[in-house]
Every structure is written in C-alpha cells, then in structure tokens.
Structure 1
C-alpha cells in the first residue's frame, strides 16, 4: 500500500467535505494568543466544540459568540505535539477524522484534515502520532496501529497487534493509553471479554513494552498489587525527569454488572533502567486521601502531580473527579487543593489540561452548575487554585498551549 497516496486522497476528500459544510472556518478571535481553549456550546446537546485562542489563562474573557473555529462532528479529543494542535474525532464505530493546526499571529491555522479509523488511544512518539484502534470482539482480536508523521502530516506506516495473544488469559488486551519511554512505547492495558468491558481479571495491572521501530511487543510486565493502570481513554503512566515511571490505578475494573476490583486506588513505580514494577514502592492513595480514588492526573514536573479524584460514593468507571489534590510521588505526600468552588457548585472539571512543567503550575477548566466556566490556575507550592480566564457560551473541554 502507498501510505502517502492514500493519506493524500483521504486528506483531499475530507477537506472538501469539510468546506462543503461551511464549518471549520475561523472567525477573527477576540483575543489572539497561543493558548487554546476548547468549548462545547451550552445551547444544545450533540454539538461540536469550538476552538478559541487566548493570550492569557490568568485573566480576561473569551466567548464563542462570533469567535473561534467550529469543529466538524462531536466527541473531539485533542493533543499538542511538535508545534501542532491535533483535533481528533471519535466516530463511535464510524471513521474518525484528524484535523491539524498551527498558530500564526495568535490565530489557529488549519494545516490538514483527513480521515482515519476511529482510534481509542493515541500519543506522540518522536515526531509521530501513534494511533491505535482497539478490538472489543474476541472473534477479531486485531488492534490496528497507524504512525502519522507530524512534520509532513502523512501516514508513514501501519500494522496490527493481536491482543488476544498479548493478554494470554482468554480475554483481549485493551490499551488504556500509550507513552513514549526512550525508544519504546509503554502501553498499559486492561483485559476484557466483551463490549461491556467485563473482565474475570479485575485485580491485575499490565504494561506492554513495544519496540517502536518495528512495533513488536518485547515484554509484558505485571503487578497484582493494584487493578489496571489508568482508565478507558485516560493516561495513567508518566515519566519523571530522572526517567522513573509512575502509574496510577483507579480500581474500577468491572465484572459486567458493577465494579469488581478489590485492590485500592494507588500509585506504583517502575524505576529508571528497569522493566519491572518496583515492589518496594506503593503509594496507597485511598488510605492517604481518606477513601478517594484517582480518576486522572497532570504531571507538573519535579515529581509533582495535580490529581482529580472521586469519593467512594462518586466512584465510577467513567466519572471524572471534582476533588483536586497535589501529590508528590517521591515523598508520598497528599494535599488537597483549596480555592475552588464547593463540589456541589461544580458541574465538571476538564481532564485534558496544560502545565508549563515548572514543578508547580497547572491550568484546568472548571464548569459550574450555574452555567459559567473558568480556567483555574493551580499553584502546587501553596496547594491553592485561583480563578483566571472566563469562558462564555459553553463548557470548557480542554486547555492547551501551542508555541
């Protein structure tokens, strides 16, 4: 197969289709800048996000009224890498789409728009985006992968991984996310036996170590002290500056009728230079937090994470936490973040967020029950959050920055 020709044809077709709908055409932003805030309009359901730019996340107001770029299709997910912002459509079984932008003079500039299979996990690797479409059918246990070069915006390679063979327990391995570690890709996964994500193995964590050059699985490492790493469509593995790897488990595996994990929500470690879980390290988050479980995290740098969590009564496989805390994984410290509205005033908190990786600063979107939305700045050194940029016209879904 000629990947470049196929990609070009898909790109042209998708671009023409997009233009014919008169969508994805930017109006002049009210506040040009290099911060990108994605917003779902509040007026109706099942509508597409808008991409807005801003010169600051700490102050000011931006609005979708007459501004931004309307995306083509709902359920968009976003990643920033190699000076480009990628907007990815989750097609729910139908073909997806990937739209790439850069920033010119504080405005988003569309570079390409192409179709792919709908993928369930993706991550930057070198100058590529690695995409994986996972199988949920035991009869067809093939996960398809694609490498998209972010310099020339072409698909340069594709292949398959047999996830039934990978799991080795009669179920399918389903990657929760991907992460580059040196010249390898670490793929944490849970195992499933049906489309309901039911499993007979709720109390184990696995990571497949993939050699990126040939996409061969070199090794699978396992830990039985926690349930699986991350959550569906949620990164749960991060690399610190000294190349130690930390992972979190929400403990939300299901038998099909409810959560069946018996292990605590916890953080584990793979020490730099090793390919095994460090059995001397376990940070029991449930114990430290008084019964909460991790739902997502943002690595701020210097072993410091901004975590979202739910209480025991709020716990669910797809429930994003409104309770924020600062965790230092090296020192095993847990401190709640103050300065946010009461949780009963918060409708949702974004999980796709921005940090300058300075060891202390994170920016998150907070959507309130009264319909207003703000970006909050979290200072890990003081464990406090302060209200910043106001966003009018909808709910914030992601906060990013593009050079």
Structure 2
C-alpha cells in the first residue's frame, strides 16, 4: 500500500468514526426529556407539560391538564391523585411525548370520611391511605390500592392508642404519614387539643403490615414534636435500613411544651420499633440558630435534603406562607448541616421533588416577589451549586410535584 492509499483509508476511517459519533449525538438530541409539573394557580390545579426546566416561561392557567389534586403520587409510568369532591382516586399514564392520559378511576367513598388525609406510597406496588372518621378522634379508616392494576387490595379500621391528658380525659390524636420499616408500618402522630397545646414527647404508632393490625404507641421524650403531620415527606430510610424521622416542633400550629429545643431528627434502627434514645439530631444546636424542620427527602447513603426554617420569625398562622424556608443537605449519621445559599422561599417551595442523576429539582416560590420558578440543585456541588430555572406565570402559583416522563424507545 503506497502512502496515498494509506492516507485515503485513514481519512475514510476517521470520517466513518466522526459520522458515527455525530449520529450518536443527533440521536441524543432527538431524545427529548418531558416533564409534568403539578401546580396550583388561582385555586385550580394543573399538570403542566414542560420540556425545558432551565429557562423561559411556562404559562400555568389554562395550560396542561386540569386536575383536582393537591398532591401527586408517582410510581413507574403513572401518577395517582385523590379528588376530595368526587371521593375518587385517579390513575394517569405518563406518555413518552409529554402528555398524560387518564387510564383508571377508583371510587373510594366507602373507605374515606373526608380527604384521604394520609396518602403513602408504601412500595412500587402499594398505596396506603388513612383517614380520620372524625378529626381528632381515634377511629381511623384505611385501605390499600394495588398498583399499577389499580384495585382495592385491603381495607379496615383501627383506633389510635389513647394518651391520657388528665384523669378520664384523653388528648386528641391525629393520623400522619409513615414508612414501611421491615414488616411494620410506622406512622407518625401527635397528641394535642384544639387550643394548640401538645402532649410532651414525640410519638409514632406501629402496625403489622399489610393487615394494619396491632396498633402500638411508641414514644420518646428526646423532643416534643409532630411526626408526619404537616409535611408530605418526613421519613427517610438510609442505606443501612435505619429509619430517620423529621421532628417538626409544632410551632406552625400551637405552643411548645419545651422551649429550648426546636426542630430535630429522630431515629429508629433497622429491625427495631423503639426510638433510638442515643440519637437526636438537634438542628438548632448544630446550626447555632433556632431551626425547625419542614421536610426531609432521601438523597442516598446517609444523606438527605431538608427544608428548614426559623419559626421564631413566624408571627402567626397568616405568616406561615411567607419566605421563611431554606434548603440544606444533612448528613443523618454524622449530624452535619450544609445550607445552600438559595434565597429563602415560601413553604410551598417543595413537596414531591424530582431527584435523579445527582440533581434535586423542585420549585422556588418567592412571596416577596410573587414569583415561582423551577429550582435545580446540583447535589455534587457546594452551597452555591444551584440554578433558578423557568418562570411559571399565573395567579399565586404553588408548585407541589415534578415528574419526569419515560423516554421513547
């Protein structure tokens, strides 16, 4: 082979390689990512389609699919939500082109009293719903939905264990969200009265799952807090199976019973149902400021994203929806807090974020500027590793869910 032929074959090989690489890039470019955003604007909820979360403007009102929802549960290629007025659960499929399609409806009026207060994705096959028969009273209705075939797989009722306030008088009680922990479902609760006072301590109720049998009250005096009541997400199972629970001090609802401790995180070890009395993540002590906790989302290992706030700045119930809340990554085992330098935001800034590929994607709602943007946090970066994304326009926009659609084949 002479030098000219050699040069020809080398150029041909390079060209073929380059074309192959170009086709790969072209194929990647054609595989667009689609998202559905759960938002409320002007008192109406929508699922908004989006293919760009990083820039531009997304018009909320009249766009997308109108849903009667306040929260979305995502599992596989489906989203699920409850309609309070119709007493019905709905299943919608997330299509590869960014649209959503209703695939089933399940009437549950016989199983709920009011608004299916506690909705829990137990695993990829089960949704557990619990609802008080009468607010503050111990009788609770429950049922499970088998997914994705979307059928009732179990139902019943139980009474929350009572806690005496004074001779012959019990505290009111409440059903909360929870998490499957081995063969037990651990549900958060709180004991209180309608005047805003709380029983001392923090409490969960454990059940044999899936039958929801043998409700047992488990308490600790490490702090006085609501568990699983206010926030959508507050239970995190770490990589080693230990369960961590966000302990919100209840300042959003009433007075404290011990004023020197604010928010914290409690732990129940793998294989156990009692609180680990050797562990209390005191957020105020760690940060050196009066910090309470609103939400906790698992990131992997022993790491979680926390939404925190200084409740001494909240002057009343009307001030709750204001720019008091901030994001911080917490190491649950080492008890470290790393705050992101993201501007403080409204309480509705995150409920069900999208967490994937080292990103935490949610909403940044500013009450001061009356704006709501998408927010992306790079979990591998430091305190400044975040980007404020697309602006969502509308009247008093509140975002509550970010869902990614499956990719086309």
SS of corresponding position for 1:133: strand
SS in 1 for 2:74: strand
Offset at residue 168 of structure 1 (A): 6.3
Deviation at 1:363, TM superposition (A): 1.3
C-alpha deviation, 1:113, in angstroms: 3.1
**CA 1:387–1:188 in structure 2 vs 1: closer, same or farther (change >3 Å)?**
same
Aligned residue in 1 for 2:92: 101
Q: Deviations over 1:345-383 (max 9, x none)?
A: x4554231324355x531120123333321111123313
Equivalent position to 2:270, from 269, 272, 288: 272
Name the SS of the counterpart of 1:77 in structure 2: coil
Change (3 A) 1:168 1:35: farther
Cα displacement (A) at 1:390: 2.9
C-alpha distance in structure 2 between counterparts of 1:192 and 1:135, whole Å: 17
SS at match of 1:313: helix
1:319 aligns with 2:320: yes
Distance 1:220 1:347 in 2: 34
Distance 1:172 1:357, change over 3 A: farther
Q: Deviations over 1:267-308 (max 9, x none)?
A: 121121222222221111012221111111222222212211
- Structure-1 residue corresponding to 2:361: 363
Q: Distance in 1 between matches of 2:193 and 2:348?
A: 31
Would the aligned equivalents of 1:304 and 1:328 in 2 still touch at CA under 8 Å?
A: yes
Aligned Cα RMSD in Å?
A: 2.9
Determine the structure 1 residue equivalent to 2:309: 310
Counterpart of 2:21 in structure 1 is none
Cα gap change, 1:185 to 1:79, in 2 (>3 Å): same
Worse-superposed segment, 347-356 or 269-278: 347-356
Contact 1:295 1:319 (C-alpha < 8 Å) held by counterparts: no
User: In 2, Cα distance between the equivalents of 1:270 and 1:257?
Assistant: 26
1:336 correspondence with 2:335:
no
Residue in 1 that maps onto 2:191:
191
Match in the other structure for 2:72: 78
Question: Do residues 291 (structure 1) and 304 (structure 2) align?
Answer: no
Aligned to 1:121: 118
Once the two structures are superposed, residues 287-344 of structure 1 have per-residue CA deviations (whole angstroms, 9 ceiling, x without a partner) of 2221111111222222212211221423478936522211111111112101x23x3x
Whole-angstrom distance in 2 between the partners of 1:374 and 1:97:
31
Q: Which sections of structure 2, spanning at least 5 residues, go unmatched?
A: 1-30
Q: Deviations over 1:30-75 (max 9, x none)?
A: x98542212222xx4xx21110122343445432355300124xx6
Q: How many pairs does the alignment contain?
A: 353
For residues 359 and 263 of structure 2, the distance between their equivalents in structure 1, rounded to whole angstroms, comes to 24
Q: Distance in 1 between matches of 2:229 and 2:215?
A: 23
Conservation of the 8 A alpha-carbon contact between 2:236 and 2:298: yes
In structure 2, C-alpha distance between the alignment counterparts of 1:400 and 1:370, rounded to whole Å: 22
CA 1:180/1:400 → structure 2, altered by over 3 Å: closer, same or farther? farther
Q: Is the 8 A contact 1:300 1:355 kept in 2?
A: no
Q: What are the within-5 Å matches in structure 2 for residues 20-31 of structure 1? A: none
Partner of 2:242: 244
Cα distance change on mapping 1:376 and 1:183 into 2, 3 Å: same
2:102 is the alignment partner of 1:110: yes
State the TM-score, normalizing by the size of structure 2.
0.77
Structure 1 residues not aligned, in runs of 5+ = 1-30
Does the CA-based 8 Å contact 2:235-2:296 persist in structure 1?
A: no
Q: C-alpha distance in 1, partners of 2:223/2:182?
A: 25
Counterpart-to-counterpart distance in 1, 2:305 and 2:130: 27
Q: Secondary structure at the match of 1:288?
A: helix
Tell me, yes or no, if structure 1 residue 173 matches structure 2 residue 173: yes
How far apart, in 1, do the equivalents of 2:238 and 2:354 lie?
14
Q: What's the counterpart of residue 392 of structure 1?
A: 393
Whole-Å separation in 1 of the counterparts to 2:364 and 2:243:
29
User: Is contact 1:176-1:235 (8 Å) kept?
Assistant: no
SS at 1:76 equivalent: coil
TM alignment of 1:195-214, pairs within 5 A: 198-201=196-199, 203-214=200-211
Aligned partners of 2:274 and 2:40: how far apart in 1?
A: 41
My pick for the range that moved more, 31-40 or 179-188, is 31-40
Check if 1:217 corresponds to 2:203. Answer: no
In the superposition, the TM-score normalised over structure 1's length comes to 0.78
Residue pair 2:290, 2:312 contacting (<8 A) in 1 also: no
In 1, the alpha carbon distance for the partners of 2:335 and 2:133 equals 37
- Secondary structure at the aligned position of 2:224 is classed as coil
